[in-house]
A and B are shown apart, each in its own frame.
Chain A
């Protein structure tokens, strides 16, 4: 399968990419690692006429600790997040979840900024960033803005990013509380049928593939904060969620799974 024809442009900086996005408008897409976009282009589900390749903007590939948070450049590859000692120590959940994405070859190419911009409700890392209370830094022609991950995702493969904005950095508060991530799938390298992330001993709880966006399970977070047991809080896991039916599972099954996985994740994260 070969994608529809397009023009290929290389951006050597975030500014160059923003300027090209402004020039080519809605016809352009950013290309980072390409492991979500290229498959969609091969299936002709996406047919951008201009690709702006930001995958080699080395300024956007870094992992460092700033004041009380971890700062990760948008073009940092999953394999780098997975193996980083800095990430393992400051936000171990993020390193663990990065190690569950796709397979090793996919993780050599996929980027943290790319998976967030793609906004797939079935992806692992967006949900991890949500549970961890992360912030996404986006840059556009007018400068940078910080967007809480909980305000970022707006719909199926949609986010608040404007057409001429690019994610430059992801910030994760240094995390010391109990955490766990449950990914339920049937085969190696599959997406989660349902996934649950628990961070900070239950203060942050997120759901994978339980609606059109990665979701925060706020009812569960509130119940935990109010002293509920893991089993009680988990019963609220699907509150407000609108899971889909697909070949893997129907909505009722996903709802059941979300509750079971949430209980397991809460217990593993230290909520009794």
Chain B
């Protein structure tokens, strides 16, 4: 598989979950483990560009796919090649910062990954559609209001 554009080869036990593979074998710990029951979305990554809960996918199922984690999103070049800010953040990450769309931050990587996948399917959503589109991601600080604002702001920008 490739992870954030880099080809990776590992031997894994078949029962290894994708989230454990990403954190322990690949060594990228930005992807969090929350509920571990595909409810909370903290472990959301992209598999071939679509959001997936990586606690509910075997690493073996991702063989040959392209995985993007929160670490890889920042480096994703913009269509026009322009860099934004010191870290070349993704517009969604900028929007989360500007709208203060996080409190404790635990759900944030998953929220950002789910939100970027959602905007690929619905580029100019209504507020209600954003809320429905993020129904698989829980913020236990209950800071949804600014998260929704951030997604709408990022949608307006793209």
Contact = CB atoms under 8 A, between A and B. Distances in A.
Q: How large is the interface on A (under 10, 10 to 19, 20 to 34, 35 or more residues)?
A: 20 to 34
B36 A1 contact: yes
Interface stretch (B67-75, B78-86, B88-96, B114-122): B114-122
Given A1-B36, A39-B37, A105 B53 contact: yes
Contact of A2 (B15, B38, B52): B15
Contacts of A39: 37-38, 56
10 contacts: A4-B15, A6-B15, A7-B14, A31-B58, A38-B56, A103-B136, A104-B114, A104-B118, A189-B39, A189-B136
A55 B136 contact: no
Contacts of B36: 1, 42
Contacts of B53: 105-106
B28 interface: no
A108 interface: yes
Interface string A100-132: 001111101100000000000000000000000
Given A104-B118, A105-B41, A105-B51, A34 B57 contact: yes
A25 to B, nearest CB: 19
B108 interface: no
Given A5-B14, A7-B14, A104-B118, A109 B56 contact: yes
A83 interface: yes
Contacts of A60: none
B116 to A, nearest CB: 12
A136 interface: no
A15 interface: no
A224 B51 CA distance: 42
B143 interface: no
Given A7-B14, A38-B56, A105 B114 contact: yes
Nearest to A38: B56
B158 interface: no
A218 interface: no
